[in-house]
Structure 1
Amino acid sequence: MSISRRKFLLTTGAAAAGSVILNSVGDTITQAQTISPEVKKARLGFIALTDAAPLIIAQEKGFFAKYGMTEVEVVKQASWPVTRDNLELGSGGGGIDGAHILSPMPYLMSLGTITKTKRPVPMYILARLNTNGQGISIDNKYKALKVGLDSKAFKVALDKAKASGKEAKIAMTFPGGTHDLWIRYWLAAGGVDPNKDVSVIPVPPPQMVANMKVGNMEAFCVGEPWNAQLVTQKEGYSALITGQLWKNHPEKAFSMRKDWVDKNPKAAQAILMAILEAQQWCDKPANKAEMAKIIGGREYLKVAVSDILPRLQGKVDFGDGRTLNNPDLAMKFWANNASYPYKSHDLWFLTEDIRWGYLPASTNTKAIIDKVNREDLWKKAAKAIKVPANQIPSSTSRGVETFFDGTKFDPNNPKAYLNSLKIKAIKS
């Protein structure tokens, strides 16, 4: 990938000029020299999704270079399984050191449940990359049902398909990942058992629209811009955006291999500082049009700005006559502590993975969260870039969470949450 002029300025004697161009926090040269990273290179993976923006912007706006990481590579991955495999390899084996990733995946990798070798690959979560910003979309043939947040009408259609012997396929992006958990939650809330009434299948995010177009699925859950593109191409409609399902829900994470971070703590901090500053940049309304243009480029999402920008601003055309204009339900990168990796949110992800049988009920969730979630490193990086104290959470829990159907998750009592759910498949 070619180095931009801005990044060139930051990696030569003209660093001072480069720092003026950037939305800097503190003195660029002083901070970069203070960090003195052990290495200047890291390979970071991303999937073609809008919420990969912090990594892409950190690269394109020179934030990595600003903090001394002048040889960072931001490498496109074809799917979440490819991301997993490349993290398992590490850059030393031709893979990657860290990635834009589905929040549960670092846990499933650290526990060894999804790795190719079935051996643990210890990972750290260093930041949450975003909240909100995903969607559940449905084939046009169901448009007359007017399926929205309530999936009961969809259940009737799915029951008919099942009775006729037809396999109803519902797509998500990775078993046990965020999109899998959103669509399972939504289906179950309407009485659909995702383990019995439908076939839940994995499809890479960029392939969702094409698969819907040829009739390979009835519905899917994926991040943007693929729900918007489906509507643009008139191949389906969005039942909901996930901010409606659970307002300000956690989504992607930035994760790195534990061994890389432990070996290169200063470099890891520099990378994290760059990503946090990129998240601040991404969240400013004045930057969203430029951001959409950058991430939509050929080397990144390869998608028209018109498929990215509106939903990024909270302007949603559901494709069935409904519209929404609510920036508070749109993807957030920094606002409302979007970047902070709350341990309570990771507990919900693990609890849901237990609910659906991806993890045994005996999983010691506290122990694995304390190993994987490095909110302490997030706080250290945030303080280093002079994030105001009122933007740094004092608790690792965001407290009781409430979902669209009134269900509550109390991180102090996850068992009560599990017991309250009627549809589940817990592995003993």
Structure 2
Amino acid sequence: MVGFSSQFSRRKFLLTAGASAASSVLLKGCLGNPPDTTNAPSETQQTPVANINPADAPETTQIKLGYIPIVEAAAMVIGREKGFFAKYGMTEVDVSKQANWASARDNVVIGSQGGGIDGGQWQMPMPHLISEGIITNGQKVPMFVLAQLITNGNGVAVAQIHQGKGLNLDISNAADYIKGFQSSNGRKFKAAHTFPNVNQDFWIRYWFAAGGIDPDSDIDLLAVPPAETVQGMRNGTMDAFSTGDPWPYRIVADKIGHMAALTAQIWKFHPEEYLAIRADWVEKHPKATKALLKGLMEAQQWCDKPENREELVQICAQRNYFNVPVAVLTPPYQGNYEMGDGQPAINDFKMGPLYWKDDIGNVSYPYKSHDLWFLTETLRWGFHDGKIKDIDQAKQIIDQVNREDLWREAAKEAGFDADIPTSTSRGVEKFFDGKTFDPENPQAYLDSLAIKRI
């Protein structure tokens, strides 16, 4: 713990930690699931006897990882269920369902010893913001980013009432329609995401801004629970939604709306959600950290094999994990997306969730250049009242939080040398609207953007 549990109980923290801000983002789980602090073994779980060199034995066999029941969490679930964590000595990995992102944040501040979690799945840059105390009421809880969990798996959905209005990947021709929505409907065009100032907020902001829409003035952009958002799309009070799989399938299949774009179209093979753990846990358990990473890497490799996708769906769909019908999870794991609104369907395995490798390189490795993009976007939109002041400060935070060195060590020890990147940068990133992000010159990226706060 980082000087927290001795001062505050969990109850006090939940009452005092950013109460006014938290009230707007206390979301239900991405599929409407309640929190689940137990994780009973399922019929698929495999726990082989660990055959570990005593010198490499982890300091502990236990860790509690939080997750949100969406496809980003699948490799953690598979690591537990298929015995990949146990293979490296981590025989007691508790993969604990969180009610929402705010609950995950609060639980990692408390830590597992206080009834919370040691780390888990995160939208970016939550680990950096938690480390700096920016979204934890000033309470700094140092965290380490250890691996990227996934690429792809997200998109922007638009309500049925907007069919035929040009709200697809490029909305530049629909900008006047969106900006003029209030004059004809009595309210601004309203869009939602699941948590402010992180991944899904960034994706929909980029999409709007690329089409000439200022997400802070031309529309209402809010953090709203997914179930409430979808109901609003159904009854005509919500217009767009930044969402992750398997929501796109449900939205189109139930004729609630259409998919304007997949994030894989906005930014090909983009960074998505990450594994991050409290720094004090990692520093106390360096061997256990690398054992966990090795198990995660094997799980990610298993997840990417097409022949394993059917079993992956069967495992993740179970009640104690995602609690959704198999039919809902199957299409994205095949790379099949019905887009709606007269758009051609997408049938491409590589447009769906990928966990280990894509056409650019390794998915699991946590590139520092990707952390830099997330914090550059934080600067772009003027988030957090200037607590992150400039690119130099962003780089300093990344160097403290990103532990790609541990990923490299674990990959080498596990024999995955061929998949270890040669640089902490993936190089220049390209977006659908022609913009580029060069991590060697983030300011040039900011300067190229027409809509920004900085």
Distance in 1, matches of 2:162 and 2:134, equals 36
* Aligned counterpart, 2:12: none
State which drifts further: 302-311 or 192-201.
302-311
Q: Displacement, 1:218?
A: 0.5
Out of 233, 247, 258, the position equivalent to 1:226 is: 247
The 5-angstrom pairing of residues 170-185 of structure 1 reads 170-185=191-206
Could you tell me whether the CA contact under 8 Å between 1:232 and 1:307 is conserved in 2?
no
Aligned CA distance change for structure 1 residues 62 and 205 (closer, same or farther; 3 Å)? farther
1:338 is the counterpart of 2:363: yes
* Aligned counterpart, 2:322: 301
1:80 is the counterpart of 2:101: yes
Q: Secondary structure of the residue that 2:151 maps to in structure 1?
A: coil
1:186 is the counterpart of 2:211: no
Q: Displacement, 1:4?
A: 4.8
1:244 is the counterpart of 2:265: yes
Distance in 1, matches of 2:319 and 2:174, equals 37
* Aligned counterpart, 1:394: 422
Per-residue displacement from partner, 1:393-421 (whole Å, max 9, x unpaired)? 01000111110000011100001110111
1:368 is the counterpart of 2:397: yes
Count of matched residue pairs: 407
* Aligned counterpart, 2:453: 425
Q: Displacement, 1:207?
A: 5.2
The code of the aligned residue for 2:401 comes to: V
Could you tell me whether the CA contact under 8 Å between 2:229 and 2:238 is conserved in 1?
no
The 5-angstrom pairing of residues 26-425 of structure 1 reads 29-30=51-52, 33-115=54-136, 117-164=137-184, 165-205=186-226, 208-321=229-342, 322-335=344-357, 336-359=361-384, 360=386, 361-362=389-390, 364-387=393-416, 389-425=417-453
Aligned CA distance change for structure 1 residues 143 and 3 (closer, same or farther; 3 Å)? same
Distance in 2, matches of 1:349 and 1:5, equals 39
Distance in 2, matches of 1:303 and 1:83, equals 21
State which drifts further: 199-208 or 417-426.
199-208
Distance in 1, matches of 2:415 and 2:62, equals 25
Distance in 1, matches of 2:166 and 2:369, equals 34
Distance in 1, matches of 2:345 and 2:41, equals 40
Aligned CA distance change for structure 1 residues 161 and 7 (closer, same or farther; 3 Å)? closer
Q: Displacement, 1:7?
A: 5.1
Distance in 2, matches of 1:267 and 1:207, equals 40
* Aligned counterpart, 1:24: none
* Aligned counterpart, 1:23: none
Q: Displacement, 1:151?
A: 1.6
Distance in 1, matches of 2:230 and 2:318, equals 19
Could you tell me whether the CA contact under 8 Å between 2:156 and 2:241 is conserved in 1?
yes
The code of the aligned residue for 2:40 comes to: S
Could you tell me whether the CA contact under 8 Å between 1:48 and 1:300 is conserved in 2?
yes
The code of the aligned residue for 2:431 comes to: F
Q: Displacement, 1:36?
A: 1.5
Aligned CA distance change for structure 1 residues 218 and 366 (closer, same or farther; 3 Å)? same
Per-residue displacement from partner, 1:126-171 (whole Å, max 9, x unpaired)? 0000111111000000111242111224423322223344032211
Q: Displacement, 1:121?
A: 1.4
Aligned CA distance change for structure 1 residues 311 and 9 (closer, same or farther; 3 Å)? closer
Aligned-residue CA RMSD (Å): 1.7
Q: Displacement, 1:208?
A: 4.2
Distance in 1, matches of 2:200 and 2:394, equals 21
TM-score, normalisation: structure 2: 0.86
Q: Displacement, 1:3?
A: 2.9
Could you tell me whether the CA contact under 8 Å between 1:208 and 1:226 is conserved in 2?
no
Distance in 1, matches of 2:97 and 2:265, equals 29
Distance in 2, matches of 1:317 and 1:6, equals 30
Could you tell me whether the CA contact under 8 Å between 1:132 and 1:243 is conserved in 2?
yes
